[in-house]
Amino acid sequence: MTETLLKICNLSTHFVTKAGIARAVNDVSFELASREILGLVGESGSGKSITAFSILRLVTHPGRIAGGRVLFRGQDLVTASEEELRRIRGNRIAMIFQDPMMTLNPVLRIETQMVETVLAHADVSRAEARIRSVEALGMVGIPSPDERLAAYPHQFSGGMRQRVAIAIALLHRPDIIIADEPTTALDVTIQAQILAQIQGLANRHGTSLIWITHDLSVVSGLADRLAVMYAGRIVEMGDVGLVLTRPKHQYTNGLIRSAPGVIPRGQPLHQIKGATPSLFNLPKGCAFRMRCTAVDAACQEDPDLIQQDERLVRCFHTVPTAGRANGLALAEKET
Cα separation values, 58 from 29, 76, 95, Å: 18, 15, 11
Helix (H, G, I), strand (E, B) or coil at 283: coil
300 binds ligand ADP (CB under 6 A): no
324 binds, among ligand ADP, Mg ion, none (CB under 5 to 8 A by kind): none
In the list ligand ADP, Mg ion, none, the entry touching 174 (Cβ below 5 to 8 angstroms by class) is none
Do residues 186 and 134 make contact, with C-beta atoms less than 8 angstroms apart?
no
- Which entry of ligand ADP, Mg ion, none binds 45, CB below 5 to 8 A by partner kind? ligand ADP
Site string for ligand ADP, 57-96 (x = CB under 6 A): -----xx---------------------------------
Contacts (CB under 6 A) with ligand ADP, residues 275-294: 279
Q: Is 22 in the site for ligand ADP (CB under 6 A)?
A: yes
- Nearest distance from C-beta of residue 46 to Mg ion, angstroms: 8
Q: How far is the CB of 60 from ligand ADP (least distance, A)?
A: 8
Binding of ligand ADP by 97 (CB under 6 A): no
Q: Which is nearer to ligand ADP, 42 or 327 (CB)?
A: 42
Is 50 a binding residue for ligand ADP by CB under 6 A? The answer is yes
Q: Tell me whether residue 113 or residue 276 sits nearer to Mg ion (CB atom).
A: 276
Q: Directed axis angle between helix 126-139 and helix 110-121, to 10°? A: 110
Which of 36, 181 has the CB closer to Mg ion? 181
Q: Using alpha carbons only, what angle is made at residue 135 by residues 131 and 141, rounded to the nearest 5 degrees?
A: 150
* Binding residue count for ligand ADP, defined by CB under 6 A: 15
Cα–Cα–Cα angle for 260, 266, 272, rounded to 5 degrees: 45
Q: Is 297 exposed, middle or buried (0-12, 13-18, 19+ CB in 10 A)?
A: exposed
Binding site for Mg ion (CB under 5 A): 49
Q: With contact defined as beta carbons under 8 Å apart, do 209 and 200 qualify?
A: no
Residue 47 interacts with ligand ADP (CB under 6 A): yes or no: yes
Site for ligand ADP contains 46 (CB under 6 A): yes
Q: How far is CA 22 from the centre of its chain?
A: 20
Bond prior to 247 in cis (omega within 30° of 0) = no
* Cross-strand partners of 95: 178
The distance of closest approach from Cβ of residue 214 to Mg ion in the complex, given in angstroms and rounded to an integer, is 8
Longest dimension (CA), the chain: 67
Nearer to Mg ion, 49 or 326 (CB): 49
CA atoms within 13 A on the CB side of 228: 29
Question: Binding of ligand ADP at residue 15 (CB under 6 A)?
Answer: yes
What DSSP character marks residue 104?
A: S
Residues of the shown chain interacting with ligand ADP in the complex, contacts defined by CB under 6 A: 15, 17, 22, 24, 42, 44-50, 62-63, 279
